[in-house]
Structure 1
Amino acid sequence: MPEITIEHNPSEERLKELGVSNWEIWEKEISEFPIDFDETETAYILEGEILVTPEGGEPVRILPGDLVVFPEGLNSHWQVVKPLRKHYNYD
């Protein structure tokens, strides 16, 4: 089963290396919905809080300052606990 990976508070160098500041921004109000990833997404959380539950897995709490990789093939349920704002990029 594809796993979500989280890097907590990556360094400025790491964010620059990845070009995070040039990535698109996505915002979402408090809500719940399924997301199935047909390609790998890397996201950097600017604001908010989400609980992402992989199909058949345990919920993962994602907070501001987290650099998260949602792998291709991941089927998940999202619960946006606090309004979300994130940079994102597809491989």
Structure 2
Amino acid sequence: MPQIILEHNPSEDRLKELGVANWDIWEKEVSEFPIDFDETETAYILEGEILVTPEGGEPVRILPGDLVVFPEGLNSHWKVVKPLRKHYSYD
């Protein structure tokens, strides 16, 4: 089963290396919805809080400053607890 990969507070060098500042930004109000990933997404959380529950798994709390990889094949349920703003990129 695909696993969410979470990196808390990556270094500025790591973010520069990935080119995060050039990624698109996505915003979402407080809400709940399913997301099934048909490609791998890497995201860097700018604002907000989300609980992402993989199908058959435990919820993962994702907060500002987190770099997170949602792998291809991940089926998940998202609960946006605080309005979300994130950079994102698809592999």
TM-score, normalized by length of structure 1?
1.00
Secondary structure (helix, strand or coil) at the match of 1:3 reads: coil
Q: For each residue in 1:32-75, what CA deviation from the matched residue of structure 2 results, as whole angstroms up to 9, or x when unmatched?
A: 00000000000000000000000000000000000000000000
Equivalents in 1 of 2:70, 2:5: separation in Å?
7
Q: How does 1:21-60 map to 2 (within 5 A)?
A: 21-60=21-60
Equivalents in 1 of 2:11, 2:59: separation in Å?
26
How much does 1:2 deviate?
A: 0.1
How much does 1:14 deviate?
A: 0.2
Aligned residues with identical type, % of pairs = 90
How much does 1:23 deviate?
A: 0.0
Equivalents in 2 of 1:60, 1:14: separation in Å?
22
Number of equivalences:
91
Equivalents in 1 of 2:90, 2:3: separation in Å?
16
Q: For each residue in 1:5-52, what CA deviation from the matched residue of structure 2 results, as whole angstroms up to 9, or x when unmatched?
A: 000000000000000000000000000000000000000000000000
Equivalents in 2 of 1:37, 1:14: separation in Å?
24
For structure 2, which runs of at least 5 residues remain unmatched after alignment? Answer: none
Runs of 4+ that moved beyond 6 A: none
TM-score, normalized by length of structure 2?
1.00
RMSD: 0.2
Equivalents in 2 of 1:5, 1:18: separation in Å?
15
